[in-house]
Amino acid sequence: MDFVIPENKTKGMLEEIITLRRHLHQNPDLSGKEAGTSKIIQEFAKSHSEVEIVSDLGGAGLALIYSFPEEGPTVMIRCELDALPIEEPNQFSHRSLKKGISHKCGHDGHMAIVAGILPWIKTQAIKKGRIILFFQPAEETGKGALQVLKDVKFKALKPDYIFALHNLPGEPLNSIITVEDAFSCTVLSFSIQLTGKQSHASEPENGINPAVAISRIITGLNDFRIPDENNPEFALLTPVYLNMGDKAYGISAGKGELHYTIRTRSEEAMEVLKKKILNLVGSICTDEKLKFNIQWFDHFLATVNHAKCNEIIKEVAIKNDYQLITKPHPFKFGEDFGWFSQHTKAAMFGLGAGINVPALHHNDYDFPDEILQTGIDMFTSIIQKILNSSEEP
């Protein structure tokens, strides 16, 4: 069957989807604590479609499953449940009701888009395959996707394709943004604990103060930076936290700590950078007679887009008459959707959130309701194209 734009869209439901989005915005949950958000989605699902519900996936993860009569491909559409530990200064009526927690990455909008697929499903004459709407926990910490993939309940779902989107402030409203190969970078964070010897401030020669080592490490790490996004060896090292000693002026510090987040285009490049960091820190600490310990955490794999999935995204964007923008290199942010792209045919695309709007993770950001319908139309078109195709997955 040839692919056509779905005739029965959800525009009549749009006001209800907007209401859902704003309700989610008012009731945010932090990573790993999304039970309340998951419950909101389940209640919405039960009132709009007869779907199988699989809950508690890798934590508060939730899958809504709709099976058509005949065997066919399984298309999963994924979004994120969690919010951020950011106080919201906005004063609009749907501002966060939870102190110090708010949806500043747009996951409320992503969830509303995916939930907005439910009313569309009921109108379809699709005969084969399955649709799985998946609401993932703990994306912001980089832990959720991996936890989900280890869950036997998720393994049993066996999707053939997984698609996701991310809203992108700074891009034209309702535009669709694709990237060949990797959509987003590999991101990793690390901490360095330095241990020397505390002494009296008047006798620093009797101790081992980490100050000089910290200075040398920061300078050395800065030399590893290749911030030019057009350079294939791109590497970004960002210092995020530094601490040394105490505010006790009679004491020469004996301990110090540094935290960084680092970004590269691939896992291979990340491994090379990690070795360079270890060699640098080890050499400096030997010189300065310090003990050290490095811990690595918050690992986001690069989101590698499958070529076939990327082509489907481009085709449906063009047929829906949306502006299509192809970027020459991955976005610098991390996205733990990359763990899914390691196991299944998968792709993520960007959805333009407007040019002159607050950036992601800024405290005055709010997901634009104007792009909800575009996200719904993109996903429903992707689903229809795959499930109405005669091709094997």
pTM over 0.85? The answer is: yes
On the 0-12 / 13-18 / 19+ scale of CB atoms within 10 A, 5 is: middle
pLDDT tens for each residue of 19-74:
999 999 999 999 999 999 999 999 999 998 789 999 999 999 999 999 999 999 99
Residues 62, 54: contact at Cβ < 8 Å?
yes
pLDDT tens for each residue of 246-281:
999 999 999 999 999 999 999 999 999 999 999 999
Query: What does residue 95 show for φ and ψ, rounded to 5 degrees?
Result: -60, 155
pLDDT tens for each residue of 285-301:
999 999 999 999 999 99
Boundaries of every domain in the chain: 11-182+302-387, 186-299
Please compute Rg for the chain using Cα positions: 24
Mean pLDDT value across the chain? 95
Domains 11-182+302-387 and 186-299 share a fold: no
What local confidence, expressed as pLDDT, does residue 390 receive?
66
| Number of other residues whose CB lies within 10 A of the CB of residue 272 | 15
Which H helix or E strand runs over 38? helix 35-48
Query: What residues are paired with 352 via a beta bridge?
Result: 168
Q: How confident is the model at residue 232 (pLDDT cuts 50, 70, 90)?
A: confident
Q: How confident is the model at residue 8 (pLDDT cuts 50, 70, 90)?
A: very low
Give the CATH fold of the 186-299 domain.
Alpha-Beta Plaits (3.30.70)
What local confidence, expressed as pLDDT, does residue 123 receive?
87
What local confidence, expressed as pLDDT, does residue 257 receive?
98
Mean pLDDT score, 121-136: 94
Per CATH, the number for 11-182+302-387 is 3.40.630.10
What local confidence, expressed as pLDDT, does residue 362 receive?
97
Integer Cα distance of 41 and 199 in angstroms: 57
